[in-house]
Chain A
Amino acid sequence: MKVSYKYIKERLHLDATPEEIADKLTFAGAEVEGIEPLGQGTNLVIGHILSCVPHPDSDHLHILQVDEGPFGVHQIVCGAPNARVGLKVIVARTGAKLPGGEIKPSKIRGVDSDGMCCSLLELGVEGKYLSEKQTSGIEELDESAPVGESNVLGYLGLDDVAIDISVLPNRPDLYAFENVVKEVACLFDIEQRKEEAKELPLNATSFKVGSETSSCKIFSARVIKGVETHASPLWLSRLLEVSGIRSINNIVDIGNYIMLLTGQPLNMYDLDKLPKQELIVRDDLEGEFLAMDGNKYPLQKGDLVVTSDGQPMCLAGIMTADACRVDENTKNIVVEAASFHFASIRHTSNRIGLASDSSLRFCKGINPDQMEDVQRKTSEILSEIAGAKEIEETALYDVYAHEKKEIRTSVAYLNGRLGTFFDTDLILKTLARDNLSPRIEGEELVCEVPSYRLDMDGEADISEELIRILGYDKIVSTLPITQLALRGLTPKQEKKKAIRDYLLAQGLYEVVTYTLVSKDQLGSFRYLNNHEALKLKNPLTVDREFVRPSLLPSLLKVATYNVARQNKDFGIFEVSDIDASDFQGQYLSFVLTGNAKGQGRLGERPYDFFDAKGYAEAILKILGVKEGRYRFMPWSLGGEEMHPGRSAEIRLGKQLVGYFGEVHPVALKKNDLKSAIVLELDFDALASLNATPIKVAVPAKYPSVSRDLSVVLAKDVAFDDVRRSLMKCSPLVRSVEAFDVYTGLGVVEGKKSLALSLTLGSEDHTLQEGEIQEAMKKAMDALKLSFNGEIRGV
């Protein structure tokens, strides 16, 4: 909302710069986003062209002698096609500072030039407010323009400044200049200048108004006859320009002017074009609406329409019908000031994609108590500058429950809420500045809410008014006294943090990716849940249409993005909420691609299955899930996403809680990747498990011995099965480790040679060689019997 600085000053006798006003407004909740002068320039003067001769060395330049009154006559070289003898012009004298730069004495093609004749563009006026003639040459001033006048901006009405306020949703009243003035008066603690209302004689009216919908509770109209359409006076068009509105003609401009001043949008109808002397608001019309912009808009039930004799005359609050628009031949008009329900206007405005300064104000909410006042002001100015002759009384439909709003609070409450120690007197004075007419009734402090303050309805609002006027710097910081309680992270949050820290320490990067994905991402890596993905009702693009039901595809995309940018070797991970129909979870995923760096590239080797497995084991360890509670099972889930021979499922009993391994070549190709080792875990399921309690064992008192053996087995015998079997074959076996797996020369096709190291020991004595040999024999027997193993060496 751009407000005229000049208007504020006229109404207030305020000696403050636009910046000072902006500062006060900003701290009080009406943030000023910009201060924009309408026109700019120093060292300007009105000049008179005494002579104009063509430049000898140019086909378009002229050499002018310009009379600048007390500043003398100066020679100016000018390129404007409309420069001619006798013209009154704006001269920027040498040393003038214009938005485009400073004017310096110069030689133009060998001729001295001392100053510049200006167009309004050069004074910083926006082109949209200017005619073609004005933008193609220098400004032609009126013949009566006083030569030598140096307050040129003032003469042109360009000495105004727009204070651009960002109006927040709770203060729609600030869409009115008059209320901004009240706000400034309150903040500077000054009186507003009284305005005298002129009472114009009013004729009786027979015009009918009404509403057949609850979305319009107030509708007022005034018939005004004998108006004349012409250009607006300079002050009016400049005032509109400050607010970013182009002047059209006096009638249209008056509508906008009253709206800017009061916040009440007006609509004007050509009385003689109405089919009937009535305006009735309805919301049950369907069909087409031909608007004054020449476009047709479809009407739906629920759209508020102002009708006359059943014909739509206006899409309420948005646009008038072409049929009854005011034009240059209009003599008699109807001025409408009404209150339409914001939701209704917003709905229609959004649907047909038409918004205006009027619809914006209706959408934000308007003052219900000022219709008559607005009509009066409108009539006044219509008679002043549009020659309105006969003005009728207001025809009014009003079923709105007008009531005086009172808020009861107390000094103790206000100080308590703010943590301040303001005395009663200061509070009363401050609230009075804000037009809240405060009074004390016993312990209570009672405020009357002015009708334009739609936002205020509770005592908390009064506390806000008080402190925003007095300033938040009046609050002395005091730390809260709170009850001591055990808060901090939950066990689940602790676990998450520990896992993130672990993966980071392993050199993985923690990324953050978008929750919303495209349809083609939905089907992939759906092993952990097959619930239907959630779809947006109102997506912005097809790329972001669904809530992702799995996390891994997003990480693969990050991997692809990076690999395409020459980042080849890395690991990334993310923990994220996963939502689907009837499913809420939190997944942890990682992707490892390229090489694991050993010592930089010196010790590098490709990431493989066992990296993922190692991380998986570590993560489960951090989660406190002991080996034995979960199992890594060979891949049984099929699909073309995970390598069937190099992937594993993580199962808790039968429940699948995660998987990891090498990505299937088909999925690699789809993702434009050469290699990817991945993992996805249902973090929620795992973190919700109770951690296995820690119990320490007494360290073995007697030394253990280590014996190696090597066995040839079928290639698909799993080491873990071998290990489990050996652990059971003798009570002396403490642990079994593999230290070499070999296939190739010397080993029959389909077999592998496995080198094992067994640790043997006892809790109550040092082992004798006989016992050791006996245990090793049992181990070898087990290998032969259970796995058809061929012992190669002990």
Chain B
Amino acid sequence: MDCIDEATKIKEEALKALMDVKEEGQLGLFFAAYLAKKGAVSGLMSKMKEIPPELRATFGAAVNAARKAVEEVYLEKKDEIEAWKLKKKFESEKIDITLPGRTCLPGGKNPYHVVIDEVTKIFLDMGYEVAEGRDVESDLYNFELLNVPKDHPARDMQDTFYLDGMKELLLRTQTSAAQAHAMCEENPKGPIQLICPGKAYRRDDDDMTHSHQFAQIEGLVIGEEISMANLKATLELFVRKMFGEKREIRLRSSYFPFTEPSVEVDVSCFNCGGKGCSLCKGTGWIEILGAGMVNPKVLEACGYDSKKYSGFAFGVGVERVAMLRYGCDDIRRIYANDIRFLDAFQGK
């Protein structure tokens, strides 16, 4: 049975040749040489007519088996080469994913703005409005209406920049001036619920903790039957949103001309949780706010009937919060606006 031997021989030969195939070109050549119509394997069929009829079935089966066997290995080889090709392609297309992304990174807000925006949002969410007021104010709104008449000792506490040749005009020493505006301009007199974030100025030499320009956020709520207990609850709400759920506050009696009673508000230290650390100087508490019940004299001066209306007010020092929170020990760094400093607030 030479023919059948030959089929086997060609099969062996083809499989051997296939073993040497390494890449696509060789695979093509192999296909042409063996599996194409006139290739060695397929070509065996043309010998059919030379085969005696009684052996043709056997021969046919042998050829088919040979072709099937070769084809099988051929396809495997083909897959293998394609996988290898793809692998090569991926290798060549590989990029360095550690290179920077194409979208530019968001800029950073000065912590001054970070704190103002955060506090503002909290009070907006509580249903307050925002009255920014102006940097240049009159003595009337900055002092007189707020129960700080001329020669009042409290004017010593806030040495003021006055404008030259502009009688009674000054740079506001406190954002409370905006509250006086709000109360005077409310017509007819009714409830008020607002915060006044903004800049204020005092004749202080700039050093690590003092700045001739600084920012405050003052809050004011006026209504019928507003009490100190309402102030306390409001500040608790604010402090917990701003500094964490577990924060407590404590009130210490203090003095501001525009409130009576007046309090300083300490917040349990957000660094150590009240155990005592370097941030709170071991006391567990950090002084954050000044607050109080609006002095009836202020209400009356701004046109409110102090028998009917009462209110509370509070104020936060923006830079102080920023410095405590972000570990900045020099207020001048805030106003220097060094990009490397601002980078810490990217996306804020």
Contact = CB atoms under 8 A, between A and B. Distances in A.
A617 to B, nearest CB: 18
B338 A565 contact: yes
B334 interface: yes
B18 interface: no
A479 B234 contact: yes
Interface string A523-565: 0000000000011111110001001000000000010011001
B161 A510 contact: no
Interface string B141-159: 0000000001111101100
Contact of A507 (B104, B152, B199): B104
A45 to B, nearest CB: 33
Nearest to A575: B113
A510 B169 CA distance: 29
Contacts of A512: 110, 112-113, 215, 334-335, 337
Nearest to A514: B213
B263 A571 contact: no
A479 B230 contact: yes
Interface in A757-781: none
B221 to A, nearest CB: 6
A418 B104 contact: no
A540 B204 CA distance: 8
A450 B266 CA distance: 31
Contact of A31 (B152, B162, B169, B252): B252
A509 B348 CA distance: 10
Nearest to A167: B255
B136 A510 contact: no
B327 to A, nearest CB: 19
Interface residues of A, number: 89
A572 B337 contact: yes
A482 B232 CA distance: 15
B87 to A, nearest CB: 28
Contacts of A539: 161
Contacts of A511: 110, 337, 342
B332 to A, nearest CB: 11
A515 B156 contact: no
Contact of A464 (B151, B260, B338, B340): B260
Contacts of B135: 515, 547, 577, 579
Interface residues of B, number: 85
B230 A567 contact: no
A420 B257 CA distance: 23
A584 interface: yes
Contacts of A478: 227, 229-230, 232-233
Which of the listed residues A484, A511, A535 has the most CB atoms from chain B within 10 Å of its own CB?
A511
Contacts of B101: 599
Contacts of B297: 458
Interface in B213-242: 213, 215, 221, 223, 225-230, 232-234, 236-237
B106 A505 contact: yes
A745 interface: no
Contact of B251 (A168, A420, A463, A472): A472
Which of the listed residues B130, B295, B334 has the most CB atoms from chain A within 10 Å of its own CB?
B130
Given A363-B153, A489-B130, A504-B106, A464 B163 contact: no
27 contacts: A172-B153, A416-B310, A418-B228, A419-B227, A460-B293, A461-B260, A464-B262, A472-B252, A476-B229, A477-B229, A480-B230, A482-B221, A482-B223, A483-B191, A487-B128, A489-B124, A507-B107, A509-B337, A515-B201, A534-B136, A538-B203, A540-B212, A547-B163, A562-B338, A572-B339, A584-B134, A603-B102
Interface of B: 99-102, 104-110, 112-113, 124, 127-130, 134-136, 150-154, 156-157, 161-166, 169, 171, 190-191, 193-194, 199, 201, 203, 205, 212-213, 215, 221, 223, 225-230, 232-234, 236-237, 250-255, 257, 260-264, 293, 295-297, 310, 334-340, 342
Closest 3 CB pairs of A and B: A419-B229, A419-B227, A600-B100
Interface of A: 26-29, 31, 168-172, 342-343, 346, 363-365, 416-420, 458-461, 463-464, 467-468, 472-473, 475-480, 482-485, 487-490, 493, 500, 503-516, 534-540, 544, 547, 558, 561-562, 565, 567, 570-572, 577, 579, 581, 584, 596-600, 602-603
Given A460-B260, A567-B339, 19 more contacts: A169-B154, A463-B293, A478-B227, A480-B233, A480-B234, A483-B191, A485-B193, A504-B106, A509-B108, A509-B110, A513-B337, A516-B171, A516-B213, A535-B163, A537-B161, A538-B162, A540-B205, A561-B338, A579-B136
